[in-house]
Amino acid sequence: MRHVAPPLVREYYLDCVGRGLDDLALPGDASIAGYLSDVLARYAFRIDVHPESVAMHLAEIQRCWQIDGPAFDPQREVTLRREVADSALFLTGFLWERVATRRAQRHFIRMGRGAYRFLAEYHRAAGHPEAGLFGKLSRRFLRYSVLLMYVREVYVDVDPGRPVRTADLR
């Protein structure tokens, strides 16, 4: 299920991500800033983002490849891998406490990098321009995770135990 955030929320996060990239002197261009702000806008208001949701997506990837199963749909893997990658990035960055309490940071970083690498290779093979973006997200996953952490701490007032509300945005 694809969540769409209101345009003003996305613009707010785009400004925060841009300032965070500048503050931390991280490499990033308009496509990276746009993608990261889109991830924040899509996930910040969801209550179903937790480590278990990533595991459910991985199990669904297995089901979509069961040739004799009712859910056989290999193309669905691309959508699910993006969900895994974006969820892992959001969890290790913006809601890092949810994975830190389980001592699972490295696991989620590996999952996120691997899922973005899968997306980069898929789009490269298909000749899609998104391949470069997903490649950068894979190679720089930890940097962008730290950026989301920084954005939350500096620009957004968030209690990690509850979903973000519009009133939290400064």
Domain count, the chain: 1
Structural domain contains residue 158: yes
Residue 133 resides in a domain: yes
Query: pLDDT tens digits for 120-130?
Result: 999 999 999 99
Examine residue 73 and state whether it is found in any structural domain, yes or no.
Answer: yes
Provide the CB-side half-sphere exposure for 1 (13 A, CA): 7
Which value, to the nearest 10 degrees, does the dihedral of the CA atoms of residues 29, 33, 38, 40 take? 150
Please report whether residue 14 resides in a domain. yes
* 150 within some domain: yes
Structure tokens at 160: 């990690």
pLDDT tens column, 1-24 = 455 556 788 999 999 999 999 999
Look up the domain containing 23 and give its range: 7-168
Please indicate, yes or no, if residue 1 is contained in any of the structural domains: no
**Domain-located, residue 64:** yes
Q: What is the DSSP string of 47-85?
A: S--SHHHHHHHHHHHHHHT-TTSTT--TTHHHHHHHHHH
**Least-confidence region, from 40-44, 125-129, 142-146:** 40-44
Note whether residue 2 is domain-resident: no
